[in-house]
Structure 1
Amino acid sequence: MSAVTQVAPVGARLRLPKVPPLTALAGVFLVVVAACALFPGFAPQDPAAINAAESLQGPSGAHPLGTDQLGRDTLSRLVAGARTSLLGPLVLGLGVTAISTVLAVAAGWFGGRTDAVISRIIDFFYSVPALLVAIVVAGVTGGGFGITLVVLIIFGLPMHVRNLRAAVMERAHLPFMEAAVTLGLPTWRVVLTHLVPTIVPNVVAVFFVTFTYGVVELSSLSFLGLGVPPGAPDWGRMVADNRAAVFTDVWAVAAPAVAIVLLAVSANLIGEHVQRTHEQSRKER
Protein backbone atom coordinates (compact mmCIF):
# COMPACT_ATOMS: atom_id res chain seq x y z
CA MET A 1 0.00 0.00 0.00
CA SER A 2 1.59 3.22 -1.08
CA ALA A 3 1.53 6.33 1.02
CA VAL A 4 -0.16 9.39 -0.38
CA THR A 5 1.96 12.49 -0.29
CA GLN A 6 0.10 15.74 -0.04
CA VAL A 7 1.79 18.68 -1.64
CA ALA A 8 1.03 22.09 -0.25
CA PRO A 9 -0.19 24.68 -2.72
CA VAL A 10 2.46 26.95 -4.11
CA GLY A 11 0.83 29.96 -2.47
CA ALA A 12 0.99 28.25 0.91
CA ARG A 13 4.65 27.32 0.53
CA LEU A 14 5.76 30.73 -0.69
CA ARG A 15 4.49 32.90 2.11
CA LEU A 16 5.79 36.29 1.19
CA PRO A 17 5.54 38.94 3.91
CA LYS A 18 2.84 41.51 3.31
CA VAL A 19 4.22 44.95 2.61
CA PRO A 20 2.06 47.95 3.61
CA PRO A 21 1.35 50.27 0.66
CA LEU A 22 3.16 53.19 2.30
CA THR A 23 6.23 51.04 2.92
CA ALA A 24 6.13 49.82 -0.69
CA LEU A 25 6.10 53.43 -1.90
CA ALA A 26 9.02 54.16 0.40
CA GLY A 27 10.91 51.27 -1.15
CA VAL A 28 10.19 52.53 -4.66
CA PHE A 29 11.45 55.99 -3.70
CA LEU A 30 14.68 54.56 -2.27
CA VAL A 31 15.21 52.53 -5.44
CA VAL A 32 14.73 55.65 -7.56
CA VAL A 33 17.19 57.63 -5.41
CA ALA A 34 19.70 54.78 -5.58
CA ALA A 35 19.34 54.62 -9.36
CA CYS A 36 19.97 58.37 -9.61
CA ALA A 37 23.01 58.02 -7.34
CA LEU A 38 24.46 55.19 -9.42
CA PHE A 39 23.57 56.69 -12.80
CA PRO A 40 23.72 60.52 -12.61
CA GLY A 41 23.44 60.50 -16.39
CA PHE A 42 19.68 60.22 -15.86
CA ALA A 43 19.70 64.00 -15.38
CA PRO A 44 17.84 65.52 -18.35
CA GLN A 45 20.25 68.48 -18.53
CA ASP A 46 23.71 69.47 -17.36
CA PRO A 47 23.24 70.20 -13.62
CA ALA A 48 26.11 72.71 -13.67
CA ALA A 49 24.95 74.65 -16.76
CA ILE A 50 24.28 78.29 -15.84
CA ASN A 51 21.70 80.37 -17.71
CA ALA A 52 21.06 83.71 -16.01
CA ALA A 53 18.25 84.50 -18.45
CA GLU A 54 16.20 81.59 -17.05
CA SER A 55 16.87 82.07 -13.34
CA LEU A 56 14.12 81.26 -10.82
CA GLN A 57 11.60 80.07 -13.37
CA GLY A 58 8.65 77.92 -12.41
CA PRO A 59 7.92 74.43 -13.74
CA SER A 60 7.73 74.14 -17.52
CA GLY A 61 8.22 71.59 -20.25
CA ALA A 62 11.93 72.35 -20.44
CA HIS A 63 12.33 72.49 -16.65
CA PRO A 64 9.77 70.22 -14.88
CA LEU A 65 10.79 71.52 -11.43
CA GLY A 66 11.84 74.98 -12.49
CA THR A 67 15.29 76.56 -12.19
CA ASP A 68 17.42 77.97 -9.39
CA GLN A 69 18.89 81.45 -8.93
CA LEU A 70 21.57 80.75 -11.55
CA GLY A 71 19.18 79.28 -14.10
CA ARG A 72 20.29 75.69 -13.48
CA ASP A 73 17.70 72.97 -13.95
CA THR A 74 16.37 71.93 -10.53
CA LEU A 75 15.41 68.40 -11.57
CA SER A 76 18.87 67.76 -13.01
CA ARG A 77 20.51 69.00 -9.82
CA LEU A 78 18.22 66.79 -7.75
CA VAL A 79 19.31 63.76 -9.75
CA ALA A 80 22.99 64.71 -9.56
CA GLY A 81 22.71 65.49 -5.84
CA ALA A 82 21.27 62.08 -5.03
CA ARG A 83 24.78 60.60 -4.91
CA THR A 84 26.13 62.68 -2.01
CA SER A 85 22.73 62.86 -0.30
CA LEU A 86 22.50 59.05 -0.27
CA LEU A 87 26.16 58.06 0.00
CA GLY A 88 26.84 60.11 3.13
CA PRO A 89 24.03 58.63 5.27
CA LEU A 90 24.80 55.15 3.88
CA VAL A 91 28.46 55.32 4.91
CA LEU A 92 27.46 56.80 8.25
CA GLY A 93 24.91 54.07 8.88
CA LEU A 94 27.25 51.24 7.93
CA GLY A 95 30.14 52.69 9.92
CA VAL A 96 28.18 53.27 13.11
CA THR A 97 26.42 49.89 12.84
CA ALA A 98 29.61 47.88 12.32
CA ILE A 99 31.69 49.59 15.00
CA SER A 100 28.92 49.78 17.61
CA THR A 101 28.12 46.09 17.11
CA VAL A 102 31.75 45.06 17.64
CA LEU A 103 32.13 47.26 20.73
CA ALA A 104 28.81 46.15 22.20
CA VAL A 105 29.58 42.45 21.72
CA ALA A 106 33.03 42.90 23.25
CA ALA A 107 31.66 44.80 26.25
CA GLY A 108 28.55 42.71 26.81
CA TRP A 109 30.03 39.27 26.22
CA PHE A 110 33.46 39.52 27.84
CA GLY A 111 32.51 41.99 30.59
CA GLY A 112 35.04 42.82 33.28
CA ARG A 113 37.84 45.19 32.37
CA THR A 114 36.89 45.16 28.68
CA ASP A 115 33.39 46.34 29.53
CA ALA A 116 34.70 48.98 31.94
CA VAL A 117 37.14 50.49 29.43
CA ILE A 118 34.62 50.59 26.58
CA SER A 119 31.91 52.00 28.84
CA ARG A 120 34.16 54.83 30.09
CA ILE A 121 35.11 55.81 26.54
CA ILE A 122 31.48 55.71 25.44
CA ASP A 123 30.42 57.84 28.43
CA PHE A 124 32.92 60.52 27.38
CA PHE A 125 31.70 60.72 23.79
CA TYR A 126 28.07 60.52 24.93
CA SER A 127 28.40 63.86 26.73
CA VAL A 128 29.40 65.74 23.57
CA PRO A 129 26.82 66.65 20.85
CA ALA A 130 27.88 65.11 17.54
CA LEU A 131 26.51 67.84 15.28
CA LEU A 132 28.25 70.60 17.24
CA VAL A 133 31.60 68.80 17.07
CA ALA A 134 31.12 68.18 13.34
CA ILE A 135 30.47 71.89 12.78
CA VAL A 136 33.59 72.89 14.73
CA VAL A 137 35.84 70.30 13.07
CA ALA A 138 34.50 71.09 9.60
CA GLY A 139 35.07 74.79 10.22
CA VAL A 140 38.64 74.28 11.43
CA THR A 141 39.67 71.77 8.76
CA GLY A 142 37.91 73.46 5.86
CA GLY A 143 34.76 71.38 5.80
CA GLY A 144 35.94 68.17 4.15
CA PHE A 145 33.16 65.66 3.50
CA GLY A 146 35.26 62.69 4.65
CA ILE A 147 36.33 64.32 7.91
CA THR A 148 32.74 65.28 8.64
CA LEU A 149 31.65 61.66 8.19
CA VAL A 150 34.40 60.38 10.49
CA VAL A 151 33.37 62.80 13.24
CA LEU A 152 29.69 61.88 12.94
CA ILE A 153 30.54 58.16 13.03
CA ILE A 154 32.67 58.50 16.17
CA PHE A 155 30.19 60.63 18.06
CA GLY A 156 27.22 58.63 16.80
CA LEU A 157 28.41 55.45 18.54
CA PRO A 158 27.59 55.98 22.26
CA MET A 159 23.81 55.59 22.27
CA HIS A 160 23.86 52.56 19.99
CA VAL A 161 26.72 50.83 21.82
CA ARG A 162 24.76 51.15 25.05
CA ASN A 163 21.58 49.72 23.56
CA LEU A 164 23.33 46.86 21.79
CA ARG A 165 25.40 46.08 24.89
CA ALA A 166 22.20 45.70 26.92
CA ALA A 167 20.79 43.35 24.25
CA VAL A 168 23.99 41.28 24.23
CA MET A 169 24.03 40.93 28.02
CA GLU A 170 20.39 39.83 27.96
CA ARG A 171 20.97 37.17 25.28
CA ALA A 172 24.24 35.94 26.79
CA HIS A 173 22.37 34.18 29.60
CA LEU A 174 19.80 32.37 27.46
CA PRO A 175 19.78 28.57 27.96
CA PHE A 176 20.99 27.66 24.47
CA MET A 177 23.82 30.20 24.80
CA GLU A 178 24.98 28.73 28.10
CA ALA A 179 24.72 25.24 26.60
CA ALA A 180 27.00 26.25 23.73
CA VAL A 181 29.58 27.55 26.20
CA THR A 182 29.28 24.40 28.33
CA LEU A 183 29.95 22.23 25.26
CA GLY A 184 33.28 23.98 24.89
CA LEU A 185 32.63 25.64 21.54
CA PRO A 186 35.18 28.32 20.56
CA THR A 187 34.24 31.82 21.67
CA TRP A 188 34.22 33.19 18.13
CA ARG A 189 31.82 30.46 17.04
CA VAL A 190 29.45 31.04 19.95
CA VAL A 191 29.43 34.76 19.27
CA LEU A 192 29.02 34.60 15.49
CA THR A 193 26.62 31.66 15.17
CA HIS A 194 24.60 31.93 18.38
CA LEU A 195 24.81 35.44 19.83
CA VAL A 196 24.90 37.78 16.83
CA PRO A 197 21.83 36.28 15.08
CA THR A 198 19.73 37.04 18.17
CA ILE A 199 20.53 40.75 18.01
CA VAL A 200 19.93 41.17 14.26
CA PRO A 201 16.73 43.23 14.80
CA ASN A 202 18.67 45.55 17.11
CA VAL A 203 21.49 45.89 14.58
CA VAL A 204 19.01 46.63 11.78
CA ALA A 205 17.43 49.30 13.97
CA VAL A 206 20.84 50.89 14.54
CA PHE A 207 21.51 51.11 10.80
CA PHE A 208 18.20 52.66 9.80
CA VAL A 209 18.07 55.05 12.75
CA THR A 210 21.62 56.20 11.98
CA PHE A 211 20.84 56.49 8.28
CA THR A 212 17.79 58.62 9.01
CA TYR A 213 19.69 60.90 11.37
CA GLY A 214 22.51 61.03 8.84
CA VAL A 215 20.18 62.39 6.18
CA VAL A 216 19.13 65.21 8.49
CA GLU A 217 22.58 65.91 9.97
CA LEU A 218 24.49 65.93 6.68
CA SER A 219 21.81 68.04 5.00
CA SER A 220 22.02 70.49 7.91
CA LEU A 221 25.80 70.71 7.56
CA SER A 222 25.48 71.20 3.80
CA PHE A 223 22.94 73.95 4.45
CA LEU A 224 25.50 75.66 6.70
CA GLY A 225 28.13 75.39 3.97
CA LEU A 226 30.10 72.58 5.62
CA GLY A 227 30.97 69.13 4.31
CA VAL A 228 30.15 69.69 0.64
CA PRO A 229 32.09 72.08 -1.66
CA PRO A 230 30.24 75.24 -2.82
CA GLY A 231 28.26 74.71 -6.00
CA ALA A 232 28.11 70.94 -5.57
CA PRO A 233 24.71 69.42 -6.44
CA ASP A 234 23.77 68.41 -2.89
CA TRP A 235 20.19 68.63 -1.62
CA GLY A 236 21.08 70.49 1.57
CA ARG A 237 23.27 72.89 -0.37
CA MET A 238 20.47 73.46 -2.89
CA VAL A 239 18.15 74.59 -0.09
CA ALA A 240 20.82 76.98 1.22
CA ASP A 241 21.68 78.41 -2.19
CA ASN A 242 18.06 79.26 -2.99
CA ARG A 243 16.70 80.22 0.45
CA ALA A 244 16.69 83.93 -0.44
CA ALA A 245 14.11 83.22 -3.16
CA VAL A 246 11.82 81.05 -1.04
CA PHE A 247 8.98 83.59 -1.20
CA THR A 248 9.38 84.41 -4.90
CA ASP A 249 10.11 80.96 -6.34
CA VAL A 250 9.34 78.19 -3.88
CA TRP A 251 10.21 75.34 -6.26
CA ALA A 252 13.97 75.83 -6.06
CA VAL A 253 13.78 75.33 -2.27
CA ALA A 254 10.78 73.01 -1.93
CA ALA A 255 12.05 70.33 -4.33
CA PRO A 256 15.30 69.50 -2.46
CA ALA A 257 13.64 70.02 0.94
CA VAL A 258 10.87 67.55 0.11
CA ALA A 259 13.45 65.10 -1.25
CA ILE A 260 15.36 65.23 2.06
CA VAL A 261 12.20 64.61 4.08
CA LEU A 262 11.07 61.75 1.83
CA LEU A 263 14.50 60.09 2.01
CA ALA A 264 14.51 60.19 5.82
CA VAL A 265 10.90 59.02 6.16
CA SER A 266 11.35 56.26 3.56
CA ALA A 267 14.40 54.86 5.33
CA ASN A 268 12.53 54.89 8.63
CA LEU A 269 9.54 53.03 7.16
CA ILE A 270 11.75 50.40 5.53
CA GLY A 271 13.66 49.90 8.77
CA GLU A 272 10.50 49.36 10.79
CA HIS A 273 9.18 46.88 8.23
CA VAL A 274 12.43 44.87 8.20
CA GLN A 275 12.37 44.69 12.00
CA ARG A 276 8.74 43.55 12.12
CA THR A 277 9.33 40.93 9.44
CA HIS A 278 12.37 39.52 11.22
CA GLU A 279 10.58 39.40 14.57
CA GLN A 280 7.58 37.66 12.99
CA SER A 281 9.77 35.06 11.27
CA ARG A 282 11.53 34.33 14.57
CA LYS A 283 8.21 33.77 16.35
CA GLU A 284 7.02 31.39 13.61
CA ARG A 285 10.17 29.24 13.81
Structure 2
Amino acid sequence: MSRNHKLTLMVGLLALVIATPGCIINRLRAKDSLNEGVREFNKGKFELAQEKFQRALDLSPDLTNAQFFYARAVNARFDQSLTEDLGMKTLEAYDNLIKNNPNNHELIDQSLALKANVYDQLTRVNNDKAEEFKQKQREMLLARAELPSASNKTKADVFYTLGVGYWKASYDLGYPYVSRKQPIPLEVVEKMKPLIRQAHEYLQKTISVQPDYSNAYFYEKLVYIEDTKVESNKARLNELNAKINEMQDKYLQLQKQQQQQASQGEPSASQ
Protein backbone atom coordinates (compact mmCIF):
# COMPACT_ATOMS: atom_id res chain seq x y z
CA MET A 1 0.00 0.00 0.00
CA SER A 2 1.43 3.44 -0.96
CA ARG A 3 2.18 6.12 1.58
CA ASN A 4 -0.64 8.32 0.22
CA HIS A 5 -3.16 5.48 0.44
CA LYS A 6 -2.07 4.71 4.01
CA LEU A 7 -2.44 8.36 4.92
CA THR A 8 -5.89 8.51 3.38
CA LEU A 9 -6.96 5.37 5.27
CA MET A 10 -5.61 6.74 8.56
CA VAL A 11 -7.44 10.04 8.06
CA GLY A 12 -10.66 8.13 7.29
CA LEU A 13 -10.35 5.94 10.36
CA LEU A 14 -9.56 8.97 12.53
CA ALA A 15 -12.68 10.74 11.23
CA LEU A 16 -14.77 7.65 12.01
CA VAL A 17 -13.38 7.43 15.55
CA ILE A 18 -14.09 11.11 16.15
CA ALA A 19 -17.56 11.07 14.54
CA THR A 20 -18.91 7.94 16.18
CA PRO A 21 -18.64 9.14 19.80
CA GLY A 22 -20.19 12.44 18.68
CA CYS A 23 -23.19 10.62 17.20
CA ILE A 24 -23.59 8.56 20.35
CA ILE A 25 -23.36 11.66 22.55
CA ASN A 26 -25.90 13.50 20.42
CA ARG A 27 -28.29 10.57 20.63
CA LEU A 28 -27.92 10.43 24.42
CA ARG A 29 -28.53 14.16 24.65
CA ALA A 30 -31.54 13.78 22.37
CA LYS A 31 -33.01 11.11 24.65
CA ASP A 32 -32.41 13.35 27.68
CA SER A 33 -34.22 16.19 25.94
CA LEU A 34 -37.00 13.78 24.96
CA ASN A 35 -37.46 12.69 28.58
CA GLU A 36 -37.47 16.31 29.73
CA GLY A 37 -40.11 17.08 27.12
CA VAL A 38 -42.30 14.20 28.28
CA ARG A 39 -42.12 15.53 31.86
CA GLU A 40 -43.18 19.00 30.71
CA PHE A 41 -45.91 17.52 28.52
CA ASN A 42 -47.33 15.61 31.49
CA LYS A 43 -47.37 18.88 33.46
CA GLY A 44 -49.44 20.48 30.71
CA LYS A 45 -46.58 22.77 29.63
CA PHE A 46 -47.02 21.97 25.98
CA GLU A 47 -45.06 24.86 24.45
CA LEU A 48 -42.02 24.09 26.60
CA ALA A 49 -42.44 20.38 25.82
CA GLN A 50 -42.49 21.20 22.10
CA GLU A 51 -39.19 23.06 22.47
CA LYS A 52 -37.64 20.07 24.25
CA PHE A 53 -38.85 17.68 21.56
CA GLN A 54 -37.52 20.00 18.84
CA ARG A 55 -34.14 20.03 20.59
CA ALA A 56 -34.19 16.22 20.60
CA LEU A 57 -34.92 16.21 16.87
CA ASP A 58 -32.13 18.70 16.19
CA LEU A 59 -29.73 16.32 17.92
CA SER A 60 -31.16 13.11 16.46
CA PRO A 61 -33.59 13.70 13.54
CA ASP A 62 -34.41 10.00 13.16
CA LEU A 63 -35.61 9.59 16.77
CA THR A 64 -39.16 8.35 16.14
CA ASN A 65 -40.42 8.99 19.68
CA ALA A 66 -39.24 12.61 19.45
CA GLN A 67 -41.07 13.00 16.12
CA PHE A 68 -44.25 11.58 17.62
CA PHE A 69 -44.15 13.59 20.84
CA TYR A 70 -43.33 16.77 18.93
CA ALA A 71 -46.51 16.27 16.89
CA ARG A 72 -48.50 15.51 20.06
CA ALA A 73 -47.20 18.68 21.74
CA VAL A 74 -48.24 20.84 18.78
CA ASN A 75 -51.59 19.01 18.77
CA ALA A 76 -52.07 19.74 22.47
CA ARG A 77 -51.41 23.43 21.87
CA PHE A 78 -53.97 23.38 19.06
CA ASP A 79 -56.51 21.71 21.37
CA GLN A 80 -56.03 24.61 23.80
CA SER A 81 -56.14 27.49 21.32
CA LEU A 82 -58.17 26.09 18.41
CA THR A 83 -56.50 28.43 15.92
CA GLU A 84 -56.26 27.48 12.27
CA ASP A 85 -52.53 28.24 12.21
CA LEU A 86 -51.74 25.73 14.94
CA GLY A 87 -54.10 23.25 13.33
CA MET A 88 -52.12 23.44 10.10
CA LYS A 89 -48.84 23.05 12.01
CA THR A 90 -50.25 20.00 13.75
CA LEU A 91 -51.19 18.42 10.44
CA GLU A 92 -47.72 19.17 9.07
CA ALA A 93 -46.12 17.48 12.10
CA TYR A 94 -48.18 14.33 11.52
CA ASP A 95 -47.36 14.43 7.79
CA ASN A 96 -43.65 14.49 8.64
CA LEU A 97 -44.15 11.61 11.05
CA ILE A 98 -45.79 9.53 8.32
CA LYS A 99 -43.17 10.51 5.73
CA ASN A 100 -40.26 9.61 8.02
CA ASN A 101 -41.70 6.24 9.09
CA PRO A 102 -43.13 4.67 5.90
CA ASN A 103 -42.92 1.10 7.20
CA ASN A 104 -44.39 1.71 10.65
CA HIS A 105 -48.03 0.95 9.87
CA GLU A 106 -49.18 1.24 13.46
CA LEU A 107 -47.69 4.72 13.74
CA ILE A 108 -49.15 5.73 10.37
CA ASP A 109 -52.59 4.51 11.44
CA GLN A 110 -52.39 6.46 14.68
CA SER A 111 -51.21 9.59 12.84
CA LEU A 112 -54.05 9.35 10.31
CA ALA A 113 -56.59 8.98 13.14
CA LEU A 114 -55.18 12.05 14.87
CA LYS A 115 -55.15 14.01 11.61
CA ALA A 116 -58.81 13.12 11.08
CA ASN A 117 -59.60 14.49 14.53
CA VAL A 118 -57.72 17.73 13.80
CA TYR A 119 -59.65 18.23 10.56
CA ASP A 120 -62.89 17.61 12.46
CA GLN A 121 -61.93 20.31 14.97
CA LEU A 122 -61.00 22.70 12.15
CA THR A 123 -64.55 22.47 10.75
CA ARG A 124 -65.60 24.41 13.87
CA VAL A 125 -62.68 26.83 13.72
CA ASN A 126 -63.27 28.17 10.21
CA ASN A 127 -66.87 27.94 9.00
CA ASP A 128 -65.90 29.10 5.51
CA LYS A 129 -63.71 26.03 5.07
CA ALA A 130 -65.88 23.64 7.08
CA GLU A 131 -66.89 21.47 4.12
CA GLU A 132 -63.32 21.33 2.84
CA PHE A 133 -62.05 20.24 6.25
CA LYS A 134 -64.88 17.72 6.63
CA GLN A 135 -63.91 16.11 3.32
CA LYS A 136 -60.28 15.98 4.44
CA GLN A 137 -61.38 14.24 7.64
CA ARG A 138 -63.20 11.61 5.58
CA GLU A 139 -60.12 11.11 3.42
CA MET A 140 -57.93 10.51 6.48
CA LEU A 141 -60.40 7.99 7.86
CA LEU A 142 -60.58 6.11 4.56
CA ALA A 143 -56.79 6.10 4.37
CA ARG A 144 -56.76 4.21 7.69
CA ALA A 145 -59.10 1.56 6.31
CA GLU A 146 -56.94 1.21 3.19
CA LEU A 147 -53.70 0.53 5.04
CA PRO A 148 -52.39 -3.00 4.31
CA SER A 149 -52.25 -3.63 8.05
CA ALA A 150 -55.79 -2.42 8.77
CA SER A 151 -57.73 -4.92 10.88
CA ASN A 152 -61.44 -5.61 10.41
CA LYS A 153 -62.01 -3.77 13.70
CA THR A 154 -60.28 -0.65 12.33
CA LYS A 155 -62.19 -0.88 9.04
CA ALA A 156 -65.50 -1.30 10.86
CA ASP A 157 -64.77 1.68 13.13
CA VAL A 158 -63.81 3.85 10.15
CA PHE A 159 -66.91 2.94 8.14
CA TYR A 160 -69.11 3.43 11.20
CA THR A 161 -67.66 6.89 11.88
CA LEU A 162 -68.20 7.90 8.26
CA GLY A 163 -71.75 6.57 8.24
CA VAL A 164 -72.66 8.40 11.43
CA GLY A 165 -71.08 11.57 10.04
CA TYR A 166 -73.17 11.45 6.87
CA TRP A 167 -76.30 10.73 8.93
CA LYS A 168 -75.61 13.77 11.13
CA ALA A 169 -75.05 15.99 8.10
CA SER A 170 -78.48 15.01 6.76
CA TYR A 171 -80.13 15.30 10.18
CA ASP A 172 -78.71 18.80 10.69
CA LEU A 173 -80.05 19.96 7.33
CA GLY A 174 -83.58 18.79 8.07
CA TYR A 175 -83.76 19.61 11.77
CA PRO A 176 -84.74 23.32 11.50
CA TYR A 177 -87.87 22.32 9.56
CA VAL A 178 -88.73 19.06 11.32
CA SER A 179 -88.43 20.70 14.75
CA ARG A 180 -91.03 23.29 13.70
CA LYS A 181 -93.17 20.62 12.00
CA GLN A 182 -92.66 22.37 8.67
CA PRO A 183 -92.18 20.73 5.27
CA ILE A 184 -88.56 20.42 4.27
CA PRO A 185 -87.92 22.60 1.19
CA LEU A 186 -87.17 20.72 -2.02
CA GLU A 187 -83.69 22.22 -2.34
CA VAL A 188 -82.85 20.96 1.15
CA VAL A 189 -84.31 17.53 0.36
CA GLU A 190 -82.02 17.30 -2.67
CA LYS A 191 -79.02 18.03 -0.44
CA MET A 192 -80.11 15.42 2.08
CA LYS A 193 -80.57 12.55 -0.37
CA PRO A 194 -76.89 11.94 -1.29
CA LEU A 195 -75.93 12.21 2.39
CA ILE A 196 -78.51 9.57 3.26
CA ARG A 197 -77.22 7.28 0.50
CA GLN A 198 -73.65 7.62 1.75
CA ALA A 199 -74.72 7.03 5.34
CA HIS A 200 -76.37 3.76 4.29
CA GLU A 201 -73.33 2.79 2.22
CA TYR A 202 -70.84 3.11 5.06
CA LEU A 203 -73.04 1.64 7.76
CA GLN A 204 -73.67 -1.36 5.52
CA LYS A 205 -69.91 -1.66 5.01
CA THR A 206 -69.53 -1.66 8.79
CA ILE A 207 -72.00 -4.51 9.09
CA SER A 208 -70.41 -6.47 6.24
CA VAL A 209 -67.01 -6.30 7.96
CA GLN A 210 -68.32 -6.84 11.49
CA PRO A 211 -71.88 -8.23 11.57
CA ASP A 212 -72.24 -7.89 15.36
CA TYR A 213 -71.47 -4.13 15.39
CA SER A 214 -74.68 -3.29 17.20
CA ASN A 215 -74.49 0.51 17.00
CA ALA A 216 -74.31 0.28 13.22
CA TYR A 217 -77.85 -1.15 13.23
CA PHE A 218 -78.99 1.61 15.58
CA TYR A 219 -77.75 4.29 13.20
CA GLU A 220 -79.08 2.44 10.18
CA LYS A 221 -82.46 2.81 11.87
CA LEU A 222 -81.84 6.56 12.19
CA VAL A 223 -80.79 6.78 8.54
CA TYR A 224 -84.01 5.06 7.49
CA ILE A 225 -85.85 7.70 9.52
CA GLU A 226 -84.00 10.29 7.42
CA ASP A 227 -85.30 8.45 4.34
CA THR A 228 -88.87 8.99 5.53
CA LYS A 229 -88.27 12.75 5.66
CA VAL A 230 -87.47 12.93 1.95
CA GLU A 231 -89.93 10.30 0.69
CA SER A 232 -93.55 10.97 -0.26
CA ASN A 233 -94.54 7.64 -1.84
CA LYS A 234 -96.81 5.80 0.59
CA ALA A 235 -95.72 2.30 -0.44
CA ARG A 236 -92.09 3.26 -0.08
CA LEU A 237 -92.79 4.82 3.32
CA ASN A 238 -94.31 1.52 4.48
CA GLU A 239 -91.12 -0.27 3.36
CA LEU A 240 -88.98 2.25 5.20
CA ASN A 241 -90.97 1.87 8.41
CA ALA A 242 -90.52 -1.90 8.18
CA LYS A 243 -86.77 -1.35 7.81
CA ILE A 244 -86.78 0.95 10.84
CA ASN A 245 -88.39 -1.77 12.93
CA GLU A 246 -86.02 -4.41 11.53
CA MET A 247 -82.92 -2.37 12.43
CA GLN A 248 -84.27 -1.64 15.91
CA ASP A 249 -84.99 -5.32 16.53
CA LYS A 250 -81.51 -6.31 15.33
CA TYR A 251 -79.92 -3.68 17.54
CA LEU A 252 -81.82 -4.84 20.63
CA GLN A 253 -81.02 -8.48 19.85
CA LEU A 254 -77.29 -7.77 19.66
CA GLN A 255 -77.39 -5.63 22.77
CA LYS A 256 -79.01 -8.49 24.67
CA GLN A 257 -76.42 -10.98 23.39
CA GLN A 258 -73.56 -8.69 24.34
CA GLN A 259 -74.95 -8.14 27.83
CA GLN A 260 -75.20 -11.89 28.30
CA GLN A 261 -71.62 -12.35 27.07
CA ALA A 262 -70.41 -9.62 29.41
CA SER A 263 -72.13 -11.22 32.39
CA GLN A 264 -70.49 -14.55 31.51
CA GLY A 265 -67.09 -12.95 31.00
CA GLU A 266 -66.95 -13.74 27.29
CA PRO A 267 -65.10 -11.33 24.96
CA SER A 268 -67.10 -9.44 22.34
CA ALA A 269 -65.70 -7.56 19.36
CA SER A 270 -68.84 -5.55 18.74
CA GLN A 271 -69.64 -2.03 19.78
Pairwise TM-score range, normalised by the shorter structure? under 0.3
TM-score (norm 2): 0.22
Which fold has the larger relative contact order, with Cα–Cα distance below 8 Å and residues 6 or more apart in sequence? 1
Larger Rg: 2
TM-score (norm 1): 0.21
